[in-house]
Each structure stands twice: as C-alpha cells, then as structure tokens.
Amino acid sequence: MDVIRRAVEGLGSRWRILLYRAAGMHIRGHVLLRAIEFPRRPRCITLGAGAMLERGVVLLATCDAARIELGRNCYLNRHTMIDANELVTIGDEAMIGPFCYLTDHDHTIAASASAADGPLISKPTHVGARCWLGAHVSVLKGVNIGAGSVVGAGCVVTKSLPAGVIAVGNPARILREIAP
C-alpha cells in the first residue's frame, strides 16, 4: 500500500508542477509540491531544483513587483507562510520548520489611523544557504540570516544574524557559534 500511496503523491506533485508552470511560476528542475496554497501571482515565484514544499505552505506575493525565490534542495515544512511585498529569498539546502512565517514588510503606524490605512514598509529578507529554522519561527522584514545558522523553535527574528550561529528566544539572540 505504501508504494501505491507514494505513486499517487508523485502524480499529484507532477500535476501541480505542470499547473504552476503553466500559470507562470519559475520551476528550475524537479521539485516536490504537496498541496500548497496556489499563489495569486505565481510568476513572481522561483523554485530551485530539488525544492520540497509540504502541505499547507502558502507563498503570498502581495504586489506584482514582489518576488519569492527558493534555492536548490530547500525544504519548507507544513503550514509555513512566506509573505513578500518586495523580496524574500531562501538559500540552497535551507530547512524551514512547520508553522514558520517569513516576511519582508510591515505596516506604517500612526496614532490617528489604522495600520491598514498606511502604505507598507518593505525591506528584502534573506535566509542563507544551509540554515535551519525550527518550528514556529517568525522572520521579520529586512532580516538576513547568515549561511549555516540555526534558529530555535518559537524565535522571532527581528535583527540580522551572522553566519554559523545558533539563535534562540524572543527576540532571537545569539546563543553560541557553531563549531566548524
């Protein structure tokens, strides 16, 4: 029965790849797409060869100029959301845990108006190659996470992190460097 289940899942992934390519998504080689939420602007999204997106992943480009770029062999676990107004990139071989949220923008804030009334403030967000984000991590606008870094579960990353560190907490802070 496992062989049949895997065959059906493989056919479903191939069907979704054809559908997304026809809609304009840039897919560089073979990828594995579970039942992700179909993006409103698929032409703004690039998936590197070997990328794997699990069920419930949401790729949201809020305007025509927005871009989401996923590197080769990166993995997005269940119910992760990437919300781009300008640019969100994830490097090669990065692993993103379940229920993560990555964004490149937030709202203006004024005492006399609601947050929805003002324009969005955007700065590109980047997760480096070989990074690992644990479950329920939030990465906010303008953050760069250096290659090979690990961000512990539940962190809110408000400031950039250098390469090769472990970060924990809310807001995320560097716990230690990773030994080479």
Q: CA dihedral defined by 43, 68, 154, 148, rounded to 10 degrees?
A: 140
Q: Which of 30, 79, 105, 107 is catalytic?
A: 107
The distance between the two most distant Cα atoms of the chain, rounded to a whole number of Å, is: 61
Please choose, from the candidates 124, 132, 125, 58, the residue with its C-alpha nearest in 3D space to the C-alpha of residue 92. 132
Q: Is 79 tagged catalytic?
A: no
Cβ(30)–Cβ(48) below 8 Å: no
Cβ(165)–Cβ(149) below 8 Å: yes
**Which residues in 37-47 are b (16+ Cβ under 10 Å) and which e?**
eebebbebbbb
Which residue(s) pair with 132 in the sheet?
Answer: 95, 150
Active-site residue list:
107
